[in-house]
Structure 1
Amino acid sequence: EFGTPSRAEGELAWLQHAYAHTAHGGHLLVVMPASVAYRKAGRRIRADLVRRGVIRKIVALPGGVAASHALPVHLWLLRRPDDTGARPDTVTMVDLTSNDPDGPLDPEDGQTAEVPLIDLLDDDVDLTPALHMPVVRRDMAAEYEEARTELTAALAALESLLPDLCAGDGTDLWEGATVTIADLVRAGLVDLGEGGVRATGDQIDPDYLDGFLGAGPNIRRSTSQSGTYRPDPKSARIPQREPAVQRRYGSAFRALEAAEAQASRLTDTVRRMAQVAREGLGSGALQPGEGQRPDSSS
């Protein structure tokens, strides 16, 4: 009815076969590969479908939704005109490609546009929804300033998390009295389960325990010559110290762990700020200020 498709456009042959069995005023929903919307060989058939007002809606789904393959697919909603011959003036385009394929595909989470038929009937007749979405103008300057503010706050937070450390007295903690984890397990002071080593009483500070398990000879003993790290909790040792001393060390180890986590977030913030800056500079939305520091290498 809309023309004989080429051998490369088998999907448009199937679509017309299904459409032939649709009653007047009836609807047809077909899953199509995304390429059908723009391939040059199907341009004439797509144009006729649009011109007659048969295509009512095209929904672009994210990759991975179709069980048979990971490529993105489209849903084409067609309607055979009723006896009145009334024809719509637009095609509804919905772009859900940025949605999580494993989550609910709510049109509210995507972009929707009512595209006039005349705008689709150009030389390409490209029916890809993303091509017809309204352009969202970003305030790159505001985004960059927001990222800089977040970066400044993240740097201040990182500095505040660093523990206050000073030079030691030269005593090697590992040359003094130490105790193995196996001995602590037998004494009922720690528990060795699937989750690792865990302190069970007040005599062992948990942060002190975790900190020394990942430091000093315990790391060297568990690292092979090839660099592979395989911890052996039972043979690991920790220095014997009074609970008050353990808490001081534990506090420092805990602060270091928090600082490392903050540094990871800081890296993400810097990366996002740089991405906004590059995109803004490349598009003309941002430009270097008058106070830009010269390149020290020149």
Structure 2
Amino acid sequence: MPEDSTTEVTAAGIARLAGVGRAAVSNWRRRHADFPKPVGGTETSPSFALGEIEQWLRDQGKLAEVPLRERVWQQLAGHPSGTVAALVHAGCVLLLRRERPRAWTALGALPDARLAEVLPTALEETLTARFGVPRAVRTPTPSETVPAVPLLRAAVELADELGGPREAFEFLLGRHLDANPRQYTLTPPPLADLMAELAAAAAPEGRPLATVVDPASGTGGLLRAVPHATALFAQDTDPDLAALTALRLALHGDADIRAATADTLRADAFPDLAADAVLCHPPFNERAWGHDELAYDARWEYGFPARTESELAWVQHALARLRTDGAAVLLMPPAVASRRSGRRIRADLLRRGALRAVVALPAGAAPPYGIPLHLWVLVRPGGDQRPPAETLFVDTAGLVPDAGRDKLPWATLRTTVLDAWAGRGGEESVARAVPVIELLDDEVDLAPARYLTAPAAGGTAPELAAVRARLDETLRRTQGLAPSPVPARSGPRPLTTVGELARTGALQLRTGGSGTASDGDDVPVLTEHDVLSGGAPSGTLPGGAASGAGAPAEEPVLVAEGDVVVPVLGGGSVARVVDAATAGAALGRNLQLLRPDPAALDPWFLAGFLRGTANNRQASSFASTATRLDVRRLQLPRLPLADQRRHGAHFKSLAEFEEALRLAARLGEQLVQGLYDGLADGSVEPG
């Protein structure tokens, strides 16, 4: 791979290259006079030449070899034109590599200067053949190509390593999305798959989804979920997203791709389209959607949406772009089902048979994750067809256990929703087909929970009696575990720090939050909340790329029995010893793992002293809004292993007492709320 003198890397990037924290990079800059000087950035956030940093790390013995994927990502992130522009340029070359491999082989053999000169012509031919004119992907100019040549060569090399251009682009796109989580609103891949399957199920039997459109395409996740389309149409207001979507879809399959940049409601790029399906995750609660200038638009067949009903404008746009009997599936905020300002449009959608189903998803299914969003399934009615007499309502919130809303059972959700659509039964607390005439009241409230039979909220009387019995048993056990304090007899003890123990090899330190899952793997994640609450691992690893399959997995940090896990944010004094049931889970964000050598350190002794309030206070630093724990500064006494184990046994007993108290509190809350609910809904009688 050619040397790259133009790519810059930040302190965070250096830390990733060397496998250390940012504090270590700051220390290197202060202590080593030969550390490379900044070449860009700002005084508070400088950037450095990647080549100089790699050479310095090798000279210091801190870097054996930079993985290809990490090097390509650093080149991408440090590109002078910006990460997105570099990602588009890399995608163009990867598409050339996919569509015309022999042409790239010949071009790749040229010197860098000559390659930068002739590459735009080859890209223009490839992009025009794939996307037509006009198109969302602009051909880079020779002047733009010159600084990108090392990156472009590296991207093709990465494709060879990862298994193809699609896999390389998915990896790079996934890293970019992971690095900018607040910049993009993504539809999780399992939800995108469910929406595509619902659209296929709603289409007439035997008709494939050949032509599919997403009028708010984002990064293209919904269209990528359609398996056998022949033509995909995407539109987005952001030109960068439109270009990334076009390249992503073109690298994913052989469908005809048409992507456009414009405001869909104000300037529809495909006004004459009659698609088989529309999939859409529209922007929510948008006031400036074009209410004033679109008052007489022909798309408002079901009524002119109020200024506060932008989502109903998207619903009618989707119906307008369908052929007769074509299906649309839209992700909607729950308020759209019940706002008074939209009741007339909802009523007309029902009367004319356009709205076929409303599916309530659990909270956490898609951003914003704290709200239980809805799926609306619509079909464009034909002129002589009789509207269906019923509308399907599905509520999947009850399928998610209260303990883990960030670990959704997508397989169960998918089966429940598709079975309900197919009419394969199910409990009336989950799915029910409601006569349209019952829905057309003054409110036209389409919230599924209103029409489904609610199960007893607190449980039956025998179930509550069982909770009471468990509570009695737990309280007796708690009383038996209650410790008795014994006055100390010894004086001050010599202390050491976690940092010193790590330097001598008595323990290892690892930081959580990185890693992705391989295809088919279901690795649980021990989250910060799990450690604080004493719960089981409730998180899940993202796929090879945040946006979908195709990218290789990165190895997470897996916890083992006897490890000690400490949260580093928040200012609490918590340390958890990993047991056999938790072993094998991945370490989550904002957690530090300490892996003691059993021949030198007892894990319960270590965890117990790490929980000391004064110990945590002296090892913490304070910012304006948060407290951060420097685990290396935590102290513990120097004791023989036998004395450590004696202390550790007491600390373990305290942990068992603490867990019994937690269980008693949970059971008590469950019993109290269950009795409130039972008395309120009549499932139990006053005693």
Task: Establish whether residue 278 from structure 1 lines up as the match of residue 676 from structure 2.
Answer: yes
Picking from 106, 121, 127, the partner of 2:414 is: 106
Equivalent in the alignment of 1:33: 333
Hey, what does 2:446 align to over in structure 1? Answer: 127
Which protein has the larger Cα radius of gyration, Structure 1 or Structure 2?
1
Describe the SS at the equivalent of 1:23. Answer: strand
Q: 1:146, CA displacement in angstroms?
A: 1.6
Distance 1:155 1:70 in 2: 34
Instruction: Note closer, same or farther for the CA distance 1:7–1:54 as it changes in structure 2 (3 Å cut).
Output: same
Question: 354, 359, 378: which is aligned to 1:59?
Answer: 359
Equivalent residues of 2:596, 2:602 under 8 A apart: no
**Which of 599, 618, 623 is the aligned partner of 1:201?**
599
Q: Equivalent residues in 2 for 1:254-265 (5 A)?
A: 254-265=652-663
Alignment-mate amino acid for residue 467 of structure 2: A
1:47 to 333, 347, 350: 347
Distance of aligned partners of 1:87 and 1:101 in 2 relative to their CA distance in 1, 3 Å threshold: farther
TM-score, length basis structure 1: 0.69
Partner of 1:9: 309
- CA deviation after TM superposition for structure 1 residue 288, in Å: 4.5
The answer as to 2:637 corresponding to 1:237 is yes
Structure 1 residue 209 displacement after superposition: 6.5
The match for 2:476 is: 156
Farther off after superposition, 138-147 or 105-114 = 105-114
Structure 2: distance between partners of 1:22 and 1:115 = 25
Q: Which residue of 2 aligns with 1:174?
A: 491
1: CA distance between counterparts of 2:430 and 2:308?
Answer: 30
Deviation, 1:30, is 2.9
Asked if structure 1 preserves the Cα contact closer than 8 Å seen for 2:366 and 2:373, the reply is: yes
C-alpha contact (below 8 Å) 1:55/1:91 kept by paired residues: yes
How many angstroms apart in 1 are the aligned matches of 2:614 and 2:370? 44
How far apart, CA to CA, are the structure 1 residues paired with 2:610 and 2:349? Answer: 69
Structure 2: gaps spanning 5 or more residues: 1-300, 418-428, 510-592, 623-628
Amino acid of the structure 1 residue aligned with 2:473: A
What do the CA deviations read for 1:79-124 (whole angstroms, capped 9, x no partner)? 2334651332211112234554663243528821111111111121
Residues of 2 paired with 1:66 and 1:221: CA distance? 40
* Rounded Cα–Cα distance in structure 1 between residues aligned with 2:453 and 2:381: 29
Q: By how many angstroms is 1:145 displaced?
A: 0.8
Contact 1:38 1:127 in 2 (8 A): yes
Pair 5,255 (structure 1): closer, same or farther in 2 beyond 3 Å: closer
Contact 2:456–2:681 (8 Å) recurs in 1: no
**Counterpart residue type for residue 129 of structure 1:** P
What is the aligned-residue RMSD (CA, Å)?
4.1
Query: Segments of 4+ in structure 1 off by > 6 A?
Result: 165-168, 212-215, 228-235
Partners in 2 of 1:174 and 1:23 — Cα distance? 85
* Shift in Å, 1:17: 3.5
Match in the other structure for 1:191: 506
CA contact (8 A) 1:223 1:230 kept: no
Q: State the distance in 1 between where 2:595 and 2:376 align.
A: 57
Please state whether the residue corresponding to 2:464 is helix, strand or coil.
helix
Q: Are residues 237 and 132 of structure 1, via their aligned partners in 2, closer, same or farther at CA, if it must alter by over 3 Å?
A: same
Are 2:351 and 2:387, in contact at CA under 8 Å, matched by a contact in 1?
Answer: no
Between 14-23 and 123-132, report the one with greater CA deviation.
Answer: 14-23
Unaligned runs of 5+ in 1: 290-298
Query: What amino acid is aligned across from residue 462 of structure 2 in structure 1?
Result: A
Residue of 17, 22, 25 corresponding to 2:322: 22
Which secondary structure state, in structure 1, belongs to the residue aligned with residue 309 of structure 2? Answer: helix
Q: Does 1:117 align with 2:436?
A: yes
Q: In structure 1, what is the equivalent of residue 467 of structure 2?
A: 147
Whole-angstrom distance in 1 between the partners of 2:447 and 2:634: 61
Is the CA contact (8 Å cut-off) linking 1:180 and 1:234 kept in structure 2?
A: no
Match of 2:381 in 1: 81
CA–CA separation in structure 1 for the residues paired with 2:664 and 2:389? 50
Q: Contact (CA 8 Å) 1:199, 1:209: kept in 2 or not? A: no
Judge conservation of contact 2:432–2:452 (CA < 8 Å) in 1. Answer: yes
- Matches of 1:36 and 1:214 in 2, distance apart? 48
TM superposition shift of 1:160 = 4.4
Indicate how the Cα distance of structure 1 residues 131 and 151 shifts in structure 2: closer, same or farther if over 3 A, else same. Answer: same
Find the aligned partners of 2:617 and 2:307 in 1 and give their Cα distance: 61
